[in-house]
Amino acid sequence: MPKILLVILILAPFIAWDAAVYVMRQQGDRSLERRSEVLRHFTQDDIKTGRDHLLRHNRLFPFYRLLFYAFYTALLFGGLGVRLENSLLQPVGGRWYLALPLFILALLAARTLLYMPVSAYSEFVIEREMGLSTISVGLWLSDRLKSLLLNWVIVSLVAFPLLALVKALPRFWPVPAAVVVLAISAFGIWISPWVIDPIFNKFTPLEDKNLTDSIRTVSAEAGLTVRQVYVMDASRRSLYLNAYFTGLGNSRRVVLYDTLVRECDPDEVLSVVAHELGHWKANHIMKGFLIEAAGVFLGFWLLWALLNNGAVRGFFGLPGPSSMVLIVLLPFLTSFTGTLTAPFVSAISRRFERQADRIALELTDNSRAFIELEKKLVRKAKADLLQPELIQLFYGSHPLPEDRIRMAEDFSRESPRSSKPAAVLLGQ
């Protein structure tokens, strides 16, 4: 069978799925029952705004996917990847460790430039017209450059030991390679609040002492010690509302978007923080890491099996198991396995989010603030309220807004006095 036909046969199901995703998003959930449930908590204008926001971005979806297929097809099946590898190896006498950084930089730079027009349109036309983007052109370009350089460092840190192990231990490399990758991942999470995050944003201690004390009180109830609460200058880029818990060990910290502090009352801010603390209380970070570890080990084992087959290597354009083109193959295969495993991963994510929601309600005993916050988050993000069930099954990392609100309403009925303000948490 001609190679081009085989490529088409392999990619066809994924391209068909991409087309189906596009159509389903365009149509939305048209059931009257779903719309009626949404309208219990939101307005027709909320639905219309969310659909308009989604439809504008969905028009770009085919371009993103076309660029993805074109980029990786040219590098893997068109032989561009191996030609780039050879052109970089020749000047350095075949010493792969000298050519690898340039190989990675060339790939990342090409991908960045390829996607920049579509990303710029998304940011400066769609998000700006929807009243969500505040970023300047200069800051946006600076972010692209910083991301490129940061990814260059991170990918290089992973690629060097990976290729070295493939060369040194051709029969046994998956296990030590997985250990190295996971160790780098854990180190990145630990060092991120100190080194990576400040590259893009400024962080200042929360000035509201009462809110800080409330957060520390809730954190203590969750069994965690929070030494400092930081506010991030998110409004330099967008008006989205968010908060997150980051770091490991002594680098752990709570971070609030400045937009959240400015536009939400203390009870609502506390509800967001309690949700993030809920992830830690339920050990979601460790559980997520273990799931990631299982995926890395399994993925490397499958990759090892593929690379041991000469016909498969030739099909993907790899002259050998330790070719630098492996750096191209990994994200390509990860994208497709990600589609196949999406329902499983999303189901776990939604389960974690429901558990964190429940813990947040228990920690704050304030369903009213939880519900008002959920409505505010949806309206501020101009989120689509009619996402189709199948899209939610595959890509819904969080429960639907109406489901989260229903959980809070059920909790309120279980705990009728569930309206405790932040001041009560301080004993005021």
pLDDT number for residue 151 = 97
What DSSP line would sit under 147-198, residue for residue? HHHHHHHHHHHHHHHHHHHHHH-TTTTHHHHHHHHHHHHHHHHHHIIIIIHH
| Rounded (5°) CA angle 200-202-208 | 145
The model's pTM is 0.91
Per-residue tokens: 400? 């639907």
Task: Map tokens 């231990």 to a residue.
Answer: 169
The span from the CA of 266 to the CA of 179, in Å, is: 42
pLDDT number for residue 350 = 97
pLDDT band, very low/low/confident/very high, at 250 (cuts 50, 70, 90) = confident
pLDDT higher than 50, residue 425 = no
pLDDT higher than 90, residue 415 = no
Contact 391, 26 (CB under 8 A): no
Sign, CA torsion 161/326/345/132:
positive
pLDDT band, very low/low/confident/very high, at 419 (cuts 50, 70, 90) = low
Closest CA to 40 of 416, 423, 385: 385
Mean pLDDT for the stretch of residues 160-170? 95
Mean pLDDT for the stretch of residues 181-185? 95
Contact 174, 297 (CB under 8 A): yes
Q: How many CB atoms lie within 10 A of CB 204?
A: 10
**Pairing of the two strands 253-257 and 229-232:** parallel
Closest CA to 21 of 53, 65, 52, 51: 65
Rounded to the nearest 5 percent, the helix, strand and coil shares of the chain are 75, 5, 20
Mean pLDDT for the stretch of residues 288-300? 94
Per-residue tokens: 387? 């996402």
Give residue 197's domain range: 3-425
pLDDT in tens, 340-365: 999 999 999 999 999 999 999 999 99
pLDDT in tens, 80-125: 999 999 999 999 999 999 999 999 999 999 999 999 999 999 999 9
Mean pLDDT for the stretch of residues 261-277? 94
pLDDT higher than 90, residue 3 = no
The span from the CA of 398 to the CA of 346, in Å, is: 8
Total domains present in the chain = 1
| DSSP β-bridge partners for residue 253 | 246
